[in-house]
A and B are shown apart, each in its own frame.
Chain A
Amino acid sequence: SQKIEQNSEALNIQEGKTATLTCNYTNYSPAYLQWYRQDPGRGPVFLLLIRENEKEKRKERLKVTFDTTLKQSLFHITASQPADSATYLCANNAGNMLTFGGGTRLMVKP
């Protein structure tokens, strides 16, 4: 069955460093992947979408890559700030159904 997986362990980094989060998928080839941010008690907020024919996409301090050979997407936050602390979710939609990975909690320490 199709699976989309993220590292369930929390990622702790120091302010100013680059945070890198991983999303792996198996048993299918998504046409694109999406990344969301979720703060406690809030709904997910859409950040970036990357298509399979795009190797990289950027938005301000965010960068997403898509490696169809490795079946993996990486999400980078450069010059991280404590305000970036949140859970980050990758997701893929097959048709209109959005399937989420388990999310990775990022903690940026001052």
Chain B
Amino acid sequence: SAVISQKPSRDICQRGTSLTIQCQVDSQVTMMFWYRQQPGQSLTLIATANQGSEATYESGFVIDKFPISRPNLTFSTLTVSNMSPEDSSIYLCSVVGQGVGGYTFGSGTRLTVV
């Protein structure tokens, strides 16, 4: 199955600033997915990123707050913009697994906004 490198693994940021999270996949994939996991909660899909087109955002998430880039079939970035303490979460990228199914996830970025 694919291997995803996600960075940074964690960061502490000042409110009002932005953080860009990167995910690199070791194989070409059509779709990459970005999730948020708030403290003590399960994962919620933020958006789906396709190469060559705008990302598709889920209800409650907007491009101005979470701009996404997908310059090629192995790489994507998620930016958390104008951060507030409510944005403190773990952010994860994911791709569809190959073979027996399931999805492969990055190791996550733990973001704390102070």
Contact = CB atoms under 8 A, between A and B. Distances in A.
Nearest to B104: A46
Contacts of B48: 96-97
A46 B97 contact: yes
Contacts of A61: none
A98 B96 CA distance: 10
Interface in B61-114: 90, 92, 94, 96-97, 100-108, 110
Complex A-B, nearest 7 residue pairs according to Cβ-Cβ distance, in ascending order: A46-B102, A43-B105, A49-B101, A100-B42, A102-B42, A100-B43, A43-B108
A89 B110 CA distance: 19
A94 B96 CA distance: 13
Interface string B29-57: 00101000000011111001000000000
Interface residues of B, number: 26
A92 B55 CA distance: 21
A46 B103 contact: yes
A101 B42 contact: yes
Nearest to B97: A46
Contacts of B94: 43, 98
A98 B45 contact: yes
Given A41-B108, A44-B43, A89-B42, A98 B101 contact: no
A47 B105 CA distance: 12
A49 B100 contact: yes
Interface string A7-46: 0000000000000000000000000101010000111111
